[in-house]
Amino acid sequence: MSRISGVSIPLGCFLLINVMSVNGLVEQGMYQSSNNPATATGETGSFPFLMPMVSPQTPDLYLCTPIKVDPTTTYYIVGFNPNATMNTAHHMLLYGCGEPGTMKTTWNCGEMAQSSGEDMVSPCGPHSHSQIIYAWARDAKKLNLPEGVGFKVGKDSPTKYLVLQVHYAHIDKFKDGSTDDSGVFLDYTETPRKKLAGTLLLGTDGIIPPMKTEHLETACEINENKVLYPFAYRVHTHGLGKVVAGYRVRSDSDGVQQWLQLGKRDPLTPQMFYNVSSHEPIVAGDQIAVRCTMKSTRHRVTKVGPTNEDEMCNFYLMYYVDHGETLDMKFCFSQGAPYYYWANADTGLHNIPHIQASNLIL
């Protein structure tokens, strides 16, 4: 069981409809009433979005479960309270989708995994809106968004469904038939938020040579006419990660690129969202650049992939806009080593800072 299991939530506090698959789509739960005091007065309600007592039997299994947002109301998610431990869940992701990958109660959503003979379906439908809203790993604690900031879902948002993805790296504890309800409690309100939150995920593909230190790097330009105010970041690698750093890159009046640190972290500490190093705005024409320093003590090549034997290089940047909608761009990935580096001539990056794990200050 997860550490916050067994909490009783009144049905009147549900803002969402659970999606269950019996003979097609069966809706359970209740719509949030407009006269419910939890939201009508501007207060915050809580919704438990948890795995439905699953018992995974395949190592490195990615499981997804969906909920449908009440389509008659716009909601704003303002906090995330994880219901999980790293002894059970390797990591969790919360997706915002136009449609889920399937209407099943749960499904194998390890879309990056190698073929295992099982049907695998992505968290979101193939042609629908898709974004990552929240991520958790390594016993990270609760996240509250800044005052006045919220993730918009429901009626006036392309996010019509939320999908919870849990990666079960190890399944020894389930061999006796034990079940799990890992997930997250979502704090929400109906009170409109002028400052809309977004999450940009930067990551890489690539390989790490045996017994070497390698840098996995990515960068992307903000080409939408929006002003982003960063407020939190989260890093993610598996066991070989030593440091992950993210930067805003902007050219000054002399054409020299200035690298402003957004966040820098040892990825083997709790993988929660931390306050950014700088709240300076990010505007069109800026680049966001990320480097993961990976140190291999293995006598084999390690590739980027979904399993515990693979690696990942991810940097999540949470930001808000104070008017209009968030970025259309939700993801930014590179080929990674040995094909992509910041120093490649075609990246346009220069004045690159020297980043080492030994320079990391926690």
Indicate the annotated binding residues. 90-91, 167, 236, 238, 312
Residues 6+ apart with CB under 8 A from 253: none
Binding positions for Cu(2+) are 90-91, 167, 236, 238, 312
d(CA 231, CA 224): 19
d(CA 161, CA 234): 23
Which single residue is written with the structure tokens 């067994």?
6
Among residues 7, 87, 18, 72, the alpha carbon closest in space to that of 46 is found at 7
Burial-class residue 277 by CB neighbours within 10 Å (0-12, 13-18, 19+).
Answer: middle
The answer to whether the CB of 61 falls within 8 A of the CB of 108 is yes
Among residues 106, 21, 32, 22, the alpha carbon closest in space to that of 69 is found at 32
The answer to whether the CB of 137 falls within 8 A of the CB of 91 is yes
Check residue 271 and report its DSSP letter. -
d(CA 88, CA 76): 29
CB count in 10 Å sphere of residue 41? 10
Q: Is the peptide bond before 52 cis (omega within 30 degrees of 0)?
A: no
* Residues labelled as active-site residues: 90-91, 165, 167, 236, 238, 312
d(CA 243, CA 245): 7
Q: Which two tokens stand for residue 223?
A: 């080409």
Quickly list H helices, the chain. Answer: 37-40
Radius of gyration of the chain measured on its C-alpha atoms: 20
